[in-house]
Structure 1
C-alpha cells in the first residue's frame, strides 16, 4: 500500500503540494517516486526568487539509477528552498513528505490547484 497523505495534492508526474497558507505551497516528490528512483545522490533545486511556470521543469533529482526532472505543480515565485538537501539528498528517500521537501512557491494563480490530483486520485493512478 502506497503512502499517500490525504492533505496533499499531486501531479501525475509524482510531485506533491501542501498548502501552507498565505498563498504559499511546499513542494516535493512522492514516496512512490523516490522509491522508483532508488537511493538519491544529488538534487538540483530552483533558486529563491525564480519564477516557475506550472508544468515546466524546475528541479532535478538524481539517483544511482537515473536522473529525473521535477516539474512545477503551480506557477509562482520560489520563496524558500531546502538547502539541506544539497548535502543530504537521501533525506528525500527517508522522509519524502516531511524533511525531504524541496521548495516553497508563492503561487501566482492558486486556481491552478484545481488541476492537481487529490490524494485518492493519485493513489488510484499508482494502482493502474
Structure 2
C-alpha cells in the first residue's frame, strides 16, 4: 500500500498536500480500498469556509455513503470536476487524478495535529 511521504493524513483517512497558497485534499489508498468501487462524489460546499473536522461532502459506493472531513480549516476553492464523469479516478489514482477538493487553508489552520506517513500507517495497522 502506498503512503506518500510528502502528504499529511487524518485518522479519518483523508490526505492533504500543500502547494503554495492552496492545498489539495483526497482520501487515502487505504480508504478507497476499504470502500470499494466509488460510484459518486458529492461536494456541495465549494465556496464555503469550514473548520477542521467539518463534513465537506460524501463519497458513495454501491452499498453505503461515507462522509468526507476537512483535515484543516479553510475555504473550499474548487472540486475535482473530472470526478463527475469518472468517480472511479478516486480508486485508480487516489493521490493524483483522484483528488477531491482544493482549499485555501485559513490563517489559523493547524497542520500539527495531522499524521505523517509513518504515523498514519501505524493507525491502520493497529
TM range (shorter): over 0.9
Whether the 8 Å contact between 1:30 and 1:96 is mirrored in structure 2 is: yes
Aligned-residue CA RMSD in angstroms? 1.2
Q: Which residue of 2 aligns with 1:77?
A: 75
Q: Which residue of 2 aligns with 1:21?
A: 20
Please list every run of 5 or more consecutive structure 1 residues that lacks an aligned counterpart in the other structure. Answer: none
Deviations 1:63-120, CA, capped at 9 Å, x for gaps: 1132100000111111121011011111100000000000011011355111101111
Whether the 8 Å contact between 2:45 and 2:56 is mirrored in structure 1 is: no
Distance in 2 between the 1:74 and 1:111 partners? 5
Deviations 1:42-74, CA, capped at 9 Å, x for gaps: 100144311111001111001113210000011
Please list every run of 5 or more consecutive structure 2 residues that lacks an aligned counterpart in the other structure. Answer: none
Normalising by structure 2, what TM-score? 0.95
- Which secondary structure state, in structure 2, belongs to the residue aligned with residue 18 of structure 1? strand
Q: Which residue of 1 aligns with 2:2?
A: 3
Does 2:31 match 1:12? Answer: no
List 4+ stretches of structure 1 deviating above 4 A. none
Normalising by structure 1, what TM-score? 0.93
